[in-house]
Amino acid sequence: MRRRHEPQPQRVRAVDMIGSLEPEQIKRYGELRPEAVDLMAEIYANNPSRAANFLAPLHLIDPELAVKLPATVEIINRLEGEYLQRVESSTPDNDTAVFAGRSMSDLVILSTENTIIPEYKDKAWDAIYKDIERTTSESGVKSSPTHQAKNAYEMLLIDPSKKSDIPINEDHAAAMKAALHKEGTNEQFIFAPVMWLALTEPAYRDELKKDELVLKNLRDHAETAWAKVQAEDSLNQSYRLAHYCRIIAAIALIKAESVELTASGQLVVSYGQAESYQTETAPQLPSRSSI
């Protein structure tokens, strides 16, 4: 297989990408820390395959970032390779196909073309279905509600035509809503109830916009996730960034003007003028070339 030309290492600063950040004042692109954008842009430029870990939630946070950091062939190939490996290595005793959901759902967000192999999609969907049913049967609906939400959200993106077949009921949804109000919820999955509920209960998304406790908890979890990014070595930072970005993406979906999962499986988020993610008007900084 021919290797793609590797880009030369470079530093892409948030101010160069966004253009309206004051250097001595912490602002956020939406709720995304500028220094996080710095780090993700650097990983994207120097090690694109690792950027596959966080790029999908980053694209949900703001359309402009999706344009500036598009999904490259290398990133798409990385995600496709992940789901292929997990489905192909699955056995009756170790159903690794359940872990293919994240790669597949990320591909749905990043690619306008549905390139997921139907047979593999069905195997992953069925594996996740069984995982939800097993957990519910063994531990009840209140057990791991955020993990159940993650499973359901992935199933929904993988095949929206099967929405009514996803084994999530009103009791599951109630447990997910309760989890959003708890301080001790695992930050890896705290994003998932927002994603699932925003796409299946539009009225509840309107409630979340007014729920200061949920927003506070999400922001607190984002700070915890960002602290873990900073404490991590460079090899594993992209995984920690994925957790951080998913929380920020959940906040973005709450704030969005509209959220829709189309029949073709595309997740469409509209932010409108009010959520342009230029939080304040600031003096235009000089370009990097002129510094």
The pLDDT tens digits for 145-203 are: 999 999 999 999 999 999 999 999 999 999 999 999 987 777 889 999 999 999 998 88
CB burial string 8-30: b at 16+ within 10 A, e below: eeeebbbbbbbebbeeeeebbbb
Render pLDDT for 73-88 as a digit per residue (tens, 0 to 9). 999 999 999 999 999 9
Report the chain's C-alpha Rg in angstroms.
Answer: 19
**167 Cβ contact partners less than 8 Å away, ≥ 6 residues apart:** 129, 132, 133, 136
Kindly state the tokens that stand for 35.
């220094």
Identify residue 287 by its one-letter amino acid code: S
Listed by start position, the domains of the chain span: 27-268
Task: State the average pLDDT over residues 18-46.
Answer: 70
Mean pLDDT of 229-250: 94
Q: What is the DSSP letter of 112?
A: S
For residue 13, what pLDDT is reported? Answer: 42
Residue 287: what pLDDT? 29
Q: What is the dihedral of CA 34, 40, 45, 49, to 10 degrees?
A: -170
Residue with more model confidence, 26 or 76: 76
pLDDT band at 19 (very low <50, low <70, confident <90, very high): very low
What is the percent of the chain where pLDDT is above 90? Answer: 60
Which segment of 142-156, 232-246, 273-287 scores lowest on mean pLDDT? 273-287
**Closest listed residue to residue 288, CA positions, set 31, 13, 82, 1:** 13
Please, which pLDDT band fits residue 34 given cuts at 50, 70 and 90?
confident
Question: Residue 258: pLDDT band by 50, 70, 90 thresholds?
Answer: confident
Q: What is the H or E stretch that residue 240 is in?
A: helix 237-255
More confident residue, 44 or 183: 44
State both tokens at 264: 């073709």
Handedness of CA 130, 127, 182, 214 (dihedral sign): negative
Q: What is the pLDDT of residue 29?
A: 55
Between 111-120, 152-161, 262-271, the lowest mean confidence (pLDDT) is in 262-271
Amino acid (one-letter) located at 82 = E
Q: Is the confidence at residue 18, as pLDDT, over 80?
A: no
